Structure 1
Amino acid sequence: MPKNKGKGGKNNRRGKKDDGENKRELIFKEDGQEYAQVVKMLGNGRLDAKCQDGENRLAQIRGQMRKKVWIVVGDIVLISLREFQDGRADVIHRYTPDEARNLKTYGELKDFQLVENQEAGGESDEEGGIEFEEADIDDICEFCWFVQVVETNDDAPTFHEKKPAFVGLNY
C-alpha cells in the first residue's frame, strides 16, 4: 500500500478557513462597464438591473459565476455593457456589502441605496401597505353589530341573547 505523504484528506480541508474572499482587491469599473443594483431576479441566470446611468437593463450572469456566486435582489454588481444591444448587459462581478460600502466612500456609487439584510423576495417592512385613519376605523366598526354574551361556569359556557356591541345605538 502507498504511504500517506500528503497533509490529510477531506477532513483536513474542511477545517481550514480560507478568508480569500475578504482580502480580495476592489475592482473598479472601466470603459464599457457600469455599476448596477439588482432589481429583480428573472430566473435562468438573468436579472433586471438598474444601472447608475438611470437605465434598467436585462443582465445575464456569466458562465464562470453561475452556481458559484449567488446574486440576490439588492446586490451591487459590475456589469459589462454590450456594444450591439443597449438594453442588455453581462454581470461580471458581484460586490459584497463591505466592498459596496467602500465603493460608496470612494465616490464611485452615487444613486444606490445600500440595503443590508434585505430579504430575498424584496419585501418591504410594511405589512400590507394600507394605513387606516381614525374615521375609517370607526366606519369599519359600525359593521360589528352584535356581541354574544357568554357566561362561563365550572360546568360549561351558557350562551345568552345577542346584544348590540355599541351602547346607545339602537339596531
Structure 2
Amino acid sequence: MPKNKGKGGKNKKRSKNNEGGDEKRELVYKIDGQQEYAQVVQMLGNGRFDAMCIDGVKRLCHIRGEMHKKVWIAVGDIVLISLRDFQDEKGDVVHRYMPDEARRLKAEDKLPKNIRLNEGIASELDDDDVDEDYFEFLDEEIDINFI
C-alpha cells in the first residue's frame, strides 16, 4: 500500500474555498445595459436555470465555468445576470448574492419591493396567503391508528 502523502481528500479541498466566507464582501452592483438582477425560478440541470429578471423578462441562464461547482445556486436566490447582445432570451450568471446582500439591495431600492428574497419553497405558504386549496386539520381530526 502506498503511503498517504497528501493532506486530505475532497473534503479538505472543499473547505479550502470557504476560509474567507465569514467576513463581509463588497456589494456588486449591476452595470446598466449589460447586466440585470434576477431571481431563480426553476433549476433545469447542466448548469442552467430559468430566471425572472427585474425588467420583467424570463431568461434561460447559464452558470459560467468559473462559478460552476464552486457557487451553489438554488431556487429563490438573487443573482446578477450578464445579458447577451445577440440573444435577449439568454444570459450568464456573473454573481450570486448572499441573503444579507440581497436584503441590502432591496433596502437600497435596487430590487422591487414586491420581490420575496431567498425564502425558497418552505415559506411559500404564509398564514395570510391561505387559499381554499390548503386545509388546516385539528389534532382530533387526525386518526393516528389509521394504519
Task: Give the structure 2 partner of residue 95 of structure 1.
Answer: 97
Q: CA deviation at 1:113?
A: 1.4
Task: Give the structure 2 partner of residue 83 of structure 1.
Answer: 85
Task: Tell me if 1:114 matches 2:117.
Answer: yes
SS in structure 1 at match of 2:100: helix
Structure-2 change in CA distance of 1:77 and 1:124 (3 Å): same
Q: CA deviation at 1:125?
A: 3.7
Q: CA deviation at 1:20?
A: 4.1
The structure where strand makes up a greater share of residues is: 1
The percent identity for this pair of structures is: 56
Consecutive unaligned residues of structure 2, counting only runs of 5 or more, are: 1-6, 136-147
Give 1:109's aligned amino acid.
Answer: L
Using the alignment, how far apart are the partners of 1:113 and 1:103 within structure 2?
12
String of CA shifts for 1:35-58, please: whole Å, max 9, x gaps.
Answer: 000000000000000000001000
Using the alignment, how far apart are the partners of 1:72 and 1:131 within structure 2?
25
Using the alignment, how far apart are the partners of 2:57 and 2:87 within structure 1?
13
Q: CA deviation at 1:115?
A: 3.7
Contact 2:37 2:54 in 1 (8 A): yes
Using the alignment, how far apart are the partners of 1:22 and 1:50 within structure 2?
29
Task: Give the structure 2 partner of residue 146 of structure 1.
Answer: none
SS in structure 1 at match of 2:70: coil
Task: Give the structure 2 partner of residue 42 of structure 1.
Answer: 44
Task: Give the structure 2 partner of residue 105 of structure 1.
Answer: 107
String of CA shifts for 1:42-98, please: whole Å, max 9, x gaps.
Answer: 000000000000010000000000000000000000000000001000011000000
SS in structure 2 at match of 1:92: strand
Give 2:19's aligned amino acid.
Answer: D
Q: CA deviation at 1:130?
A: 2.4
Consecutive unaligned residues of structure 1, counting only runs of 5 or more, are: 1-8, 133-171
String of CA shifts for 1:101-123, please: whole Å, max 9, x gaps.
Answer: 0111111111521143x24xx78
Using the alignment, how far apart are the partners of 1:113 and 1:131 within structure 2?
21
Structure-2 change in CA distance of 1:131 and 1:98 (3 Å): closer
Structure-2 change in CA distance of 1:83 and 1:24 (3 Å): same
Pairs aligned (count): 118
Using the alignment, how far apart are the partners of 1:101 and 1:115 within structure 2?
9
Instruction: Give the superposed CA RMSD.
Output: 2.8
Greater RCO, 1 or 2 (C-alpha within 8 Å, sep 6+): 2
Structure-2 change in CA distance of 1:107 and 1:84 (3 Å): same
SS in structure 2 at match of 1:102: helix
